Structure 1
Amino acid sequence: MKKNIILFLTLLLGCNLSGYCQQAKHTFALGDEAFLLDGKPLQMISGEMHYPRVPREAWRARMKMAKAMGLNTIGTYVFWNLHEPQKGKFDFTGNNDVAEFVRIAQQEGLWVILRPSPYVCAEWEFGGYPYWLQNEKGLEVRSKEAQYLKEYESYIKEVGKQLAPLQINHGGNILMVQIENEYGSYGSDKEYLAINQKLFKEAGFDGLLYTCDPAPDLVNGHLPGLLPAVNGLDNPAKVKKLVNDNHNGKGPYYIAEWYPAWFDWWGTEHHTVPAQQYSIHLDSVLAAGISINMYMFHGGTTRAFMNGANYKDTSPYEPQTSSYDYDAPLDEAGNATPKFMKFREVIQKYLPAGTQLPAVPAVKPAISIPAIKFTQSVSLLNTLPVAKENITPLTFEALHQDYGFVLYRSTVQGGKSGLLKLKDLRDYAVIMLNGKKAGTLDRRLNQDSLILTLPAGKVTLDILVENLGRINFGKYLLQNKKGITEKVLFDGAEVTHWKMYSLPFGNLNAVKFGAGTQSAQSPVIKKGGFTLNKVGDTYLDMSGWGKGVVWVNGHNLGRYWNVGPQQTLYLPVEWLKKGHNDIAILELLKPAQTQLKGIDKPILNILQP
């Protein structure tokens, strides 16, 4: 008897220490027409939501919203560049704690579809790849190249340690795991896909694996033997035929990405799609018994410097906005939209008889902040680190820098005018002569040169270059280095002997501010604060500012840029506190600006010249 009591207490203590006791194991399998949970049909009604785009403190609340709309499953990518930001250094803490995200979903009664492919796309920096892969000579992502596979294997094994125990066949809530991601839009190497499958299994993912591809590319991206999921197609007959043709004439049928709206990029109109336009398609898909994952159910915010960019031969470089509102059923702050209510009505029709959805949680309170005061500032040029010197400009990657900015400095002989040309600028540059802004260059607009008139004597030429986001889709994944990637010419002659100052701005701890808001004629960092009697979501109105980045209470809220369409930065209630709150702004274009307020609604749809 004593032995039994000791064994029970030991097990209980083990559960408490781990914070998680395995639930009863289930089976999840492929039927000919439907997914089978414990031998019974399950129609997954899923919504995509990415853990780094939502404050950790809000994960549970967003999942309750998912349940209220009728979802039974959450889909999420896993982001390599978050979890291995530097080679061999892994991070699964704080907002990167994806295992806790999955556990909270289980506690809230939600299944999970896991998408831990090293490549995610997702409008995310470098499609999820860590920048340092580009420093491995000869490494080629999404290929059988040996170095890539070695780094891939190391990464996926670390992910497996975190998440493989949470698969449904181990008592967790992960139903299926996706290998690669829309590979058919990139290549057709079945051997490479088979290597993906092998690496996933070796990492402990021993449940159901699947592939997903847009309908036109599914043949290229499907690995025989795995379930082929379809993206971007919601005609039930076409979905079933496509899957049957590639899966031995059988189902089940899963639309892995169903798009009820779209994302935004700087300088283009805000994308919105009326709910009615898509609710009829949701109805027909669910009526046909097809499982679905809406991308996105809740977009949230791509904070810090983690937005990606698109680039094609037929269109310009298109860096995405920090807001990932996506016109999704849940808005950027996690509130139900008319689309949410319309989709909820449709889903209710297909729930088991007698099932009633939870009440929709009330709209979260939003607050205004009438005036935010700035009491300290410093010119960016007065807060530089130790320089690295080289004859020619070095890229971010050569400087072992991931994101943010690099200041390139050289000295040129003045007293003349000429064309300054940057070959090949990636992505945005502020040009300064003797500390004064002389112009800007913007890769979006195919700008790489401008006429400068230099004052007499020796002139300090400063070029502040911003990485606006590495390309996340297509063949240019392999051409993704940042900074001045070739050379600088002035008046036809190459400018050499450069000093480079790394400014990644992972935090502002090293910045030394001066009192007052002294005037500057070049980029500036301002610091101030505001006091709150009550907290709530708010939106910083940046429409009167130029371009830059905002931190509140140490959290990087993302980029702002008055070209739009995004004119506000979402500031979540979870990162505010009663009493004093700190704020800092890096402003590139309007250093004299001091007026800032928080408003109670976002502005996501205004373009400015």
Structure 2
Amino acid sequence: MNKFKLICLTGLLVGSVCTIRAQEKKGHSFKIENGHFQYDNKPLQIHAGEMHYARIPHQYWRHRLQMLKALGLNTVATYVFWNFHEPEEGKWNFEGDHDLATFIRTAQEEGLMVILRPGPYACAEWEFGGYPWWLQNVPNLEIRRDNPAFLAYTQKYLNRLGQEVGNLQISKGGPIVMVQAENEFGSYVSQRQDIPLEEHKSYNAKIKKQLEEAGFEVPLFTSDGTWLFEGGATAGALPAANGENNVESLKKAVDQYHGGQGPYMVAEFYPGWLSHWAEPFPKVAASKVAQQTETYLKDKVSFNFYMVHGGTNFGFTSGANYNKQHDIQPDLTSYDYDAPISEAGWATPKYDSIRNVMLKYVDYKVPAVPKPMPVIEIPSITLDKVVDVLGFAEQLGGNEDEQPLTFEQLGHPYGYVVYSRRFNQPINGKLSLKGLRDYACVYVDGEFVGELNRYFKHYDLEIDIPFNSTLQIVVENMGRINYGAEIVHNNKGIISPVTINDIPITGNWLSTPLPLSETIEPTKLLGLGQAIDNKQAQQNMPVLYEGSFELSEVGDTFLDMESWGKGIVFVNGRNIGRYWKLGPQQTLYIPGAFLKKGKNSLVIFEQLNQQPQKSVRTVKVPVLDKLALQ
């Protein structure tokens, strides 16, 4: 090849590469214009489904996104939980299950647009509505208000989020087409009428501005019930509705707050509903959901199924609600939500009903439904080691103070604290824990006395403490409130004086956090405690059970906890969540991604131990709707 031809060819190649790069950089466009969502300058109807990457093992993200696409949807929506990424102040985690950028890129690879809901408040039946627990320790900080200390932290969070995923906006070649500003703020305004409306609006506008300053340049939107737009809508963001089935009401509300024109979007269309411990598992009929889906499709209303796939509140991530009957309503470990795609990623009859409707209306190709993940059953796992938790706590020591210390004072985010106090003189009468947050088992010298329970508003019991005896109270944090005005009162443990016969018991309180967190090292943990013979495992004694099992093949499975009392389970050192005999959830989902060929470990913290156990099994079908209140 002569020199002239080589120069020409080189020039052509360079020009081609530059053209390709320019095209890649340009990508697609998304905007709100002339009352429509417009994708590449063409009107678009958003058919979205919500799933939260934080509730799904990262190994399963692609499968769940493919399930969403096969339902006939074109967009995935997800909350971003601040506390999932900043569990300790200044310590960020965007790896593995926390790798939001990979989730978003995977969605793009599957041909989906992405709607990001970064809060900073999320709700979502998630611990503290997504806020980090440690915010409660910051002086002069008031969450969800036009408060300088709080807004300084929200700006740090949003700036870091912008660094992680800002380059994945559609304007930069990524799939993110919209970002939500705050979340359901109108409902909070209605509940916090002690705060001037002007301050509420100032706060809401500042969160929107912080998102923009963090580099989010795609269209912003808010999300509220239509009757709450007055408090929740903010200038420059599209008001979208939650739970609005009436299309005319939707259009009227949006027009009022968005210049007299659309687009119209139901940001949360509920095909199922949230579920609490000790309450019936709510279900929504497939026919009703399919009919409402068709209504939206006919009227060109965009929508987002909340949830299309719920997933699981692994570890201590589940939040709580409350009402007049119950001071707290802890959310289940399962976030199945009666969604079209089940907790384990299976297509349900509801999924089939919706898909059939979608296929009648969409003008794009809908792929075949992916196969579910393999499912296995383990008939019996022998529990061959037992550790006494009260003795274990004594060896750990603790923090001594005049009063029991809260979880926050102890720097202990979640789980359990053992409170103990030695009595040099006998005392008996009514023990009261008005400041219990949230559940307690009470012992005297290791003997079970009774349980106290914030759910049932059971804060008192009769007690008899002999001379030179020790009172022990094992307190469980069952999840911080995630919705409503009470979200600002979320300290855990024992938050006010313990009394006996209305006399405050002060001095020499020992507060011992139990090292049971999101993950554990089973051998190291159990090595700290005193092993006891399983035959001698005293009834009503809180214990740690350990077992192991061998697998030649891995797959999803469900741990059957129906004969157990109350506690949490670790599989290969990973906290898979809480169980409670009251139901309605009686099984715990174990993803195959958490298992391995060969030897696997199992650790169970059983708080009640009313029926000492020797083994546990798994089943292939979950049980999420069986109440056992007696």
**CA–CA separation in structure 1 for the residues paired with 2:572 and 2:467:** 44
Partner of residue 535, structure 1: 554
In the TM superposition, residue 535 of structure 1 has moved relative to its aligned partner by 2.0
Counterpart check, 1:556 vs 2:567? no
Is structure 2 residue 504 aligned with structure 1 residue 494? yes
Question: Which residue does the alignment assign to 1:594?
Answer: 614
| Alpha-carbon separation, structure 2, partners of 1:435 and 1:100 | 49
The yes-or-no answer on 1:523 pairing with 2:537 is no
Cα gap change, 1:448 to 1:511, in 2 (>3 Å): same
Determine the structure 2 residue equivalent to 1:166: 168
User: Where does 1:54-203 land on structure 2 (aligned, <5 Å)?
Assistant: 54-187=56-189, 188=197, 189-203=200-214
- Give the counterpart letter for 1:69 in structure 2: L
Tell me if the contact between 2:326 and 2:455 (Cα under 8 Å) persists in the aligned partners: no
Return the TM-score normalized by structure 1: 0.95
Question: Which whole-Å CA distance do the structure 2 matches of 1:27 and 1:357 have between them?
Answer: 22
8 Å CA contact retained: 1:266, 1:320: yes
CA–CA separation in structure 2 for the residues paired with 1:300 and 1:101: 15
Change over 3 Å in CA distance of 1:493–1:351 after alignment to 2: same
If each structure's helix is expressed as a fraction of its own residues, which one has the higher value?
2
Measure, in 2, the Cα distance between the counterparts of 1:278 and 1:491: 54
When residues 405 and 99 of structure 1 are mapped into structure 2, their CA distance, relative to the original with a 3 A threshold, is: same
Q: Given the superposition, is the C-alpha separation of residues 23 and 537 from structure 1 closer, same or farther in structure 2, using an over 3 Å criterion?
A: farther
For 1:220, the equivalent position in structure 2 comes to 231
5 Å-filtered alignment, 1:122-521, equals 122-187=124-189, 188=197, 189-313=200-324, 315-352=326-363, 355-384=364-393, 385-413=396-424, 415-454=426-465, 456-496=466-506, 497-506=508-517, 507-509=519-521, 510-513=524-527, 514=531, 516-517=533-534, 518-520=536-538, 521=540
| Contact 1:404–1:505 (Cα < 8 Å) also in 2 | yes
How far apart in 2 are the matches of 1:325 and 1:414? 51
Deviates more, 1:521-530 or 1:153-162: 521-530
Please tell me whether the aligned partners of residues 587 and 622 of structure 2 are also in contact (alpha carbons under 8 angstroms): yes
Is the contact made by 1:375 and 1:515 (CA closer than 8 Å) also made in structure 2?
A: no
The alpha carbon displacement at 1:33 in A equals 3.2
Q: Which runs of 5+ in 1 are unaligned?
A: 16-20
Offset at residue 534 of structure 1 (A) = 2.4
SS at match of 2:353: helix
Conserved 8 A contact 1:26-1:37: yes
Distance, in Å, in 2 between the alignment partners of 1:559 and 1:402 is 16
SS of the residue corresponding to residue 435 of structure 2 reads strand
After TM superposition, where is structure 1 displaced by more than 4 Å over at least 4 residues in a row? 1-5, 21-24, 413-416
Query: What is the rounded CA distance, in whole Å, between the counterparts of 1:175 and 1:427 in structure 2?
Result: 41
CA distance in 1, matches of 2:564, 2:379: 16
Counterpart residue identity of residue 297, structure 1: V
- Matches of 2:146 and 2:487, distance apart in 1: 16
* Separation in 1, partners of 2:103, 2:26: 19
Q: Assess if the C-alpha contact under 8 Å between 1:131 and 1:402 holds in 2.
A: yes
Whether the aligned pair in 1 keeps the contact of 2:569 and 2:576 (CA below 8 Å) is yes
**AA aligned opposite 1:508:** I
Q: How does 1:3-18 map to 2 (within 5 A)?
A: none
Q: 1:23: how far off?
A: 6.0
Larger displacement relative to structure 2 (470-479 or 378-387): 378-387
Q: Can you list the C-alpha shifts for 1:290-339, whole angstroms capped at 9, x where unaligned?
A: 11000000001001011111123465310100000000000010010000
Aligned residue-pair number: 597
Percent of residue pairs bearing the same amino acid type = 44
How far residue 4 of structure 1 moved from its aligned partner, in angstroms, is 6.7
Q: TM-score, normalised by structure 2?
A: 0.91
Structure 2, unaligned runs of 5 or more: 1-5, 190-196
Distance (whole Å) between structure 1 residues aligned to residue 310 and residue 356 of structure 2: 21
Question: Hey, what does 1:18 align to over in structure 2?
Answer: none
Measured in 1, the distance between the counterparts of 2:152 and 2:429 equals: 49
- Alignment partner of 1:349: what SS? helix
AA matched with 1:360:
V
Secondary structure of the 2:410 match is coil
CA-based RMSD:
2.1
Go from structure 1 to structure 2 and tell me whether the alpha carbon gap of 1:434 and 1:23 turns closer, same or farther (over 3 Å shift): farther
Q: Which range is displaced more, 46-55 or 488-497?
A: 488-497
Q: Determine the structure 2 residue equivalent to 1:573.
A: 592
Distance (whole Å) between structure 1 residues aligned to residue 323 and residue 490 of structure 2: 13
In the alignment, the residues of structure 1 paired with residue 272 and residue 74 of structure 2 have an alpha-carbon distance, to the nearest angstrom, of 21
Distance in 2 of aligned mates of 1:23 and 1:380? 58
Where 2:311 maps in the other structure, the secondary structure is coil
